[in-house]
Amino acid sequence: MPHGERHRSERIGWLRAAVLGANDGIVSTASLVVGVAAAASARQDVLIAGVAGLVAGALSMAAGEYVSVSSQADTEQADLKRERHELATEPQAEEDELTSIYVRRGVEPGLARIVARQLMAKGALAAHARDELGLTEELAARPLQAALASAATFAVGAAVPILAILVAPFSALTATVAAASLVCLVVLGATAAFVGGAPILVGAARVTIWGVVAMLATAAVGNLFGTVVG
């Protein structure tokens, strides 16, 4: 009896968008908050900066993902349109092309011809999309899904430093925001690595290191301008 299998590659589309959104939400908002706080701003100013960063960032992520993935989807559709035309005008050449693909993969030429004919009889476009173009339904570009996932996860990630602003003592605001954000980055990186089948420590380290660099840079800018303006 056949058993069902789910491969991690099926998660690539939404996982990439979700991790990118959450990571950007935490890093960009925490860095913004740390920079403003380092300039000796009042809690209200820091909170306003954080909320503005959340809204602007979520919309920017949604727009960027939608445009980017839409371009990918347009390319895929253009390739499918061309393939559909070639199947209608040169079916034999397309059968030969599919046969040669299977031969290059190690199938005996006679059997490769039989396989190509049978697959084309059941769904010529699907066969060519999969084996010639490398396009499958599971990995197809989905602009709206990517945009919504990025925006939602950015907002969730950005909420971490904003909540830290609300609960932390003002004297420890910068340290609390940085600590809470770094903990969440570690969890995010480890979770994404686990879901994607990658080494957990590597996944956690790479997002955390960039988060530290970003917050140190904005803290330095905040201190510099706070001193100059003050």
The answer as to whether 103 is a domain residue is yes
| Residue 32: Cβ within 10 Å count | 25
The answer as to whether 150 is a domain residue is yes
Distance CA 91, CA 123 (A): 13
The answer as to whether 174 is a domain residue is yes
The answer as to whether 229 is a domain residue is no
Q: For residue 211, what are the domain limits? A: 9-224
pLDDT, residue 56, reads: 93
pLDDT, residue 207, reads: 86
pTM recorded for the entire structure: 0.70
Distance CA 157, CA 188 (A): 9
pLDDT, residue 219, reads: 84
The answer as to whether 3 is a domain residue is no
Domain count, the chain: 1
Rounded to 5 degrees, what angle do the CA atoms 60, 63, 65 make?
105
pLDDT, residue 229, reads: 40
The answer as to whether 153 is a domain residue is yes
Give exposure, 152-185, as e/b (b: 16+ Cβ within 10 Å).
bbbbbbbbbbbebbeebeeeebbebbbebbbebb
pLDDT, residue 13, reads: 52
The answer as to whether 4 is a domain residue is no
pLDDT lower than 50: segments of the chain: 1-4, 7-11, 227-230
